[in-house]
Homo-oligomer: A and B are copies of this chain.
Amino acid sequence: MVQAWKDYQDVNKDRFLNELLDLLRIPSISAKSENKPDMKRCAEAVKARLLEAGVQTAEIYETEGHPIVYAEIIIDPAKPTVLVYGHYDVQPPEPLELWKSAPFEPTIIDGKIFARGSCDDKGQFYMHIKALETLVQTKTLENNIKFCIEGEEEIGSPNLGKFVASHKELLKADCILISDSSMISLETPSIDIGVRGLSYIEVEVTGPNRDLHSGVYGGAVANPITMLAKMIASMHDENNHITIPGFYDDVVEATKAERELMAKAPFDEQEFKDDLGVKELWGEKGFTTNERTGIRPTLEINGIWGGYIGEGAKTVLPAKAFAKISARLVPNQTSDKITSLMLDHLQKIAPKNVTVKATLHHGGEPYMTPLDSTAYKAAAKAMETTFGKTPIPVRGGGSIPICALFEKELGIKIVFMGFGLDSDNLHSPNEKFNIDNFYKGIETIPYFHKYFSEMTK
C-alpha cells in the first residue's frame, strides 16, 4: 500500500464527498430540453473540478447536443496514457412520487448517497478526478491521464462519435478506463468484461383521426391500445424467446465452459427474488438468470401510453397509442441490423386497421474486454491490492454504446472498473451510491495507473 495516498485521502475525504454532493445538485438530464442550461452548468462545474484537481488543461467542446468536457495532464509524452471516460448527464428522475428524497437534493442515509446520478455516473467519474488529485498532490503520478466526460450517454451519445473521429490525436491513449458499471459487492469484487449493445425504438400506433367516444364508436373501430398490446404480446413466444425473425442469427452462443464458469459466480435466487419483491422470475427458457442478463439478447418495453391516464374514468377510444421498446444485444449482433429487424417486424405485424410508425431513438454495439489485455490485468491487480481478493470477471447486462466506437476509432482496449452495486437503483427512483464504494474507488484507481504504467513500460 502506498501510505502517502492513504494519508492524503483520509485527511480530505469529507471534502471529496461534499464536492460530489454539489455536483449531484445539478439536474443534468440530457433527455429533457428544459434542462439544457443545467447541462451547460454541469459541464462547467466538471471542467472547474478537473482544473482544481490538477489537470494541465481542460476544455469544453460544444456539440450539436450537449457539450463534452476534455482535460489532460501529460507528464511525459513518452510515458503510457490512460483515457478516462465518464458522463455527467443523468437519466430523468421520473416517477418522482416514488423517491423518498428529492432526486437532486442528495441525502445521506445509512452511509448511502441518495440522488439521481450518484452512481450513474457522477459518483463514479468523480472518483477518477479525486484519484488524479491524490496522485498529483502526493507527486506520484507516473503516467499521462486524459479525461473525456460527455453529456449524452443516457440518450445514446449521438454526438460523441463525430467528436472522437475528429479528435483522434487528442484522445490518443494506451487504454480507456471506465467506471460506469457495477461489481458484485465490496466482499466479492468483480470486473465487467462485457457490455451489451442496444437498439432503442419508439412505436406510434394510430387508429382513428381523433379521440372517439368509446360508447358511440367502440366495437366498430380498431382501438390503437388493443392493437399495440397485441403487437407487444406477440413479440415473445411461450418460451419467452423473441419472435422477431432473424433476431438471434448473429448471437455467438456461449460455450459450455463459459457457462460453467458463469455458474460459479455467487447467486442466490431466493435473495434475488426477495430483493425485487417478486414471487417468480421470468425469462428465456433454457437459460439461468445470470445468463439471461449477461450472454443473451433481450427485448423490453420501457414505456407505454395511450388514451386517458388521469384521475378517474373517461370513456374514450383514443386516436393513438405509443410504446418505447429496447433490445439489448450481445456479440456479434449489431445495432443497425437489429434496429432494422425490429422496425420492419413492427410494420409486418401491424394490424391493417391501424397505422404504425416506428422510429429509432438510439443504438449501440456490444463490447467485450479481453482477459489477457494489459488494461484488464492492471485493473484486476489494482482491485486485488485494495480488496485483498482477485476480482471475478463477469458479463454485465447494461450498455455503454460508445465502447465499440472508441475501439474502432482509437484502436485501443477498454477496461470497466465499476464500483457501483446492482442494487444502486440505476435509472430508478432512489438511485444511490454507497459512500464506502466511492472511497474504495478513489483508493483503487491510483493503483490502476501505477500497475498499468509498470506493465506497459
Contact = CB atoms under 8 A, between A and B. Distances in A.
Contacts of A280: 222, 352-353
A428 B210 contact: yes
Interface stretch (A36-44, A170-178, A225-233, A256-264): A225-233
Interface in A369-403: 396-399
A45 interface: no
A221 B276 contact: yes
Given A209-B276, A210-B98, A316-B302, A399 B215 contact: yes
A2 interface: no
A243 interface: no
Contacts of A54: none
Interface in A313-337: 313-319, 321-324, 326, 328
Given A280-B353, A309-B303, A314-B302, A293 B220 contact: yes
Interface string A5-38: 0000000000000000000000000111100000
Contacts of A430: 210
Contact of A218 (B221, B298, B303): B298
Range of interface residues on chain A? 35 or more
A150 to B, nearest CB: 16
B200 A313 contact: yes
A253 B321 CA distance: 33
Interface stretch (A87-95, A406-414, A436-444, A447-455): A87-95
Q: Is the interface of A mostly helix, strand, loop or mixed?
A: loop
Interface stretch (A128-136, A159-167, A281-289): A281-289
Contact of A307 (B225, B302, B328): B302
A425 interface: yes
Nearest to A307: B303
Nearest to A236: B226
A304 B281 CA distance: 24
Contacts of A308: 92, 94, 302-303, 324
A276 B225 contact: no
Interface string A244-286: 0000000000000000000000000000000011111111100
A236 B353 CA distance: 15
Given A211-B95, A216-B182, A293-B220, A304 B305 contact: yes
Nearest to A155: B312
Given A196-B215, A220-B281, 14 more contacts: A31-B314, A217-B397, A218-B300, A219-B283, A222-B281, A229-B229, A229-B301, A230-B233, A302-B307, A302-B317, A303-B306, A303-B316, A309-B322, A315-B399
- Give the top 3 A-B pairs by smallest Cβ distance, nearest first: A31-B312, A209-B277, A219-B298
15 contacts: A32-B310, A32-B312, A92-B314, A94-B310, A210-B276, A212-B428, A213-B427, A216-B422, A219-B296, A220-B283, A223-B282, A233-B234, A279-B353, A302-B315, A305-B309
